[in-house]
């Protein structure tokens, strides 16, 4: 029998210290909202941390903040208000499918379901915009992302050799909304 009283609540246990017993609790979920101009510096910093190439520039982030066909979402950490992740999707007049252009989660927030939360919200908003599904490209060697997408119902439908700046192959995936 353990000398510690451990309880598990929710999906993601976190150790809390401060009394003799260790209690496992779920951290509060981040607030997912539309990005604002004042998020720009944090978005750019997250982009630089997350990607070695094919990065969005400050100008492109500014563009997507204003674009009528853009959907730039951020997950804001409830503990300190920082941007824990972002997702960028957009629509085109000549397509019924939205496109997830980029998604990133800060290293200290990885593994807490933030990518899943952002993707689910992007899907929800794409549906509200009249889209019938969401498409994306992902590096063929990015197995954590591919696993997330497949777990959320995305299916592979093509590969694009040499798609990325560093020559990596991309896997095209899509999910049709019901």
Per-residue pLDDT tens over the stretch 127-147: 999 999 999 999 999 999 999
For residue 147, report the phi and psi dihedrals to the nearest 5 degrees: -60, -45
Whether 129 is covered by a domain: the verdict is yes
Place of tokens 């951290």: 27
pTM: 0.82
Whether 9 is covered by a domain: the verdict is no
Whether 2 is covered by a domain: the verdict is no
SS3 15: strand
For residue 133, the domain's CATH number is 3.40.630.30
pLDDT for 150-162, tens place per residue?
999 999 999 999 9
- Domain with 131 in it: 14-176
Tell me 55's DSSP state: P
- E-assigned strands of the chain? 14-16, 23-25, 31-34, 70-76, 83-90, 97-105, 133-139, 155-160, 170-176
**In the chain, how many domains are there?**
1
pLDDT at residue 26, rounded to an integer = 63
If one compares 118 and 18, the residue with the highest pLDDT of the two is: 118
pLDDT for 41-53, tens place per residue?
999 999 999 988 8
Whether 1 is covered by a domain: the verdict is no
């Amino acid at each position: 029998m353990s000398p510690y009283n451990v309880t598990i609540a929710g999906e993601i246990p976190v150790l809390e210290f401060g009394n003799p017993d260790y209690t496992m609790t779920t951290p509060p979920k981040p607030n997912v909202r539309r990005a604002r101009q004042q998020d720009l510096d944090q978005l750019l910093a997250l982009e630089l941390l997350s990607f070695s190439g094919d990065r969005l520039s400050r100008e492109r982030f500014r563009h997507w903040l204003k674009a009528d066909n853009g959907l730039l979402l951020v997950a804001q950490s409830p503990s300190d208000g920082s941007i824990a992740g972002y997702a960028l999707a957009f629509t085109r007049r000549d397509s019924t499918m939205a496109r997830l252009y980029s998604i990133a989660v800060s290293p200290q927030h990885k593994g807490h379901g933030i990518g899943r939360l952002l993707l689910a919200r992007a899907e929800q908003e794409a549906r509200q915009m009249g889209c019938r599904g969401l498409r994306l490209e992902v590096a063929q060697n990015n197995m954590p992302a591919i696993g997330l997408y497949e777990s959320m119902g995305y299916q592979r439908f093509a590969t694009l050799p040499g798609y990325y700046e560093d020559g990596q192959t991309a896997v095209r995936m899509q999910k049709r909304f019901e």
